[in-house]
Amino acid sequence: MMLTSNFPSIRNPSAMCPTCHSPCMSPKPGCLAECCLSPISIADLPSETPFNDSAALPNAITSDLQVHRVDIPADIADSEWLDASLPYVQVFQEQMGTTKLARGPSSAYYTLTASGQAGLEHATNELHRMFVHATQYVLDHEEQFAPLFHFPASLWPKIRASWADHAADVISARFDFALTPDGIKTYEYNADSASCLFECGHSQDAWARAVGLPGRSNSATLFGQLVEAWRAKHVGGVLHLLCDDDLEERYHSMYMQAAAQAAGLECHLIVGVDSITQDPFGGLFRDADGRPIRNVWKTWSWETVL
């Protein structure tokens, strides 16, 4: 499930608390002033739907997702079903090891009910708010929670500053859900390195058309949403897209690059980190052509760099 909506800035980074006389982004431990604490109760978190046990909230259960099979004639299976002039398609085909649509006479596919789709969308929006709330809560109680993350102490001021300045800079993210007979369960939230964009927004729709399936994809408008999300960010200057030296990460990043370019941004893809240099004495980071790296969208995990 892809999330491309904006959410408001969490905290004014320059605000000073009138009670503890510290920056609200770095309150003194134990300060109970409203500006220094995020809501302790999850019930205080802004929500599209009030948290009410009796409310009939949208949900998705196991039976909402069904597996089917479709027969694929040999001429269709051997067809060139994707536009190989698109750079990200070329890398996808290299990753798959073929340009053909199918390797056998039939293939599985999945359908999701409309109510199941509504449940997934509701869970995505509500859980995103909860994760934002949880992040703010950790920062509000840094002394208590910081040791649990094992980050170097020097990183915490940078984390607070990043959260204050860029918390709303969300383009896409992905929840990993499981459907049970009782509803949706969450595995994890890939909040800054969501993959599957190309598959969701391009290849699954092309595949369905090629084999003649009825219905529609639940992400048929994803590319347009990504374009609008980039336009809404008003990025100033060049955008660098960073990924690991991995074919899947590369076509995923190139698909996002195409969306950003469609939004009017100048983009450059950086594979790996070996070509990145830094000016002396802690200056700017630069790409292989000497361009300053100021705006970044990435797929690699922080462990790759740290």
By the 8 A CB rule, do 70 and 115 touch? no
Beta strands in 198-260 (DSSP E): 239-243
Judged by DSSP in three states, 28 sits in coil
Q: What is the model's pLDDT at position 282?
A: 78
For each successive 10 residues of the chain (306 residues), what is the average pLDDT?
A: 32 54 54 45 47 71 96 94 96 95 93 94 94 94 94 92 88 93 94 82 93 85 95 95 93 97 98 93 92 93 74
Q: Token pair 């990183």 is at which residue? A: 155
| Beta-bridge mates of residue 65 | 112
Name the nearest CA neighbour of 235 among 268, 201, 260, 212. 260
Give the distance from CA 171 to its chain's centroid.
Answer: 6
What DSSP designation does 241 have?
Answer: E
Q: What is the model's pLDDT at position 30?
A: 44
By the 8 A CB rule, do 100 and 76 touch? no
Q: What is the model's pLDDT at position 23?
A: 60
Q: What is the model's pLDDT at position 215?
A: 82
Give the Cα-Cα-Cα angle 14, 18, 24 (nearest 5 degrees).
35
By the 8 A CB rule, do 1 and 177 touch? yes
Q: Token pair 């109680």 is at which residue? A: 141
CA 278 – CA 276 distance, rounded (Å): 7
- Taking phi over 0 as left and psi of -120 to 50 as alpha, with beta for the rest, 268 belongs to beta
CA 48 – CA 126 distance, rounded (Å): 8
Q: What is the model's pLDDT at position 217?
A: 83
Q: How far is CA 181 from CA 49, 55, 60, 176, 186, in A?
A: 22, 19, 9, 17, 14
CA 194 – CA 170 distance, rounded (Å): 11
Q: How many other C-beta atoms are found inside a 10 Å radius of the C-beta of residue 232?
A: 14
pTM over 0.85: no
Q: What is the model's pLDDT at position 43?
A: 42
Q: Which two tokens stand for residue 272?
A: 């790996």
Phi, psi (degrees; rounded to nearest 5) at 188: -165, 170
CA 253 – CA 271 distance, rounded (Å): 10
**24 Cβ contact list (under 8 Å, min separation 6):** 11, 12, 15, 16, 17, 35, 36
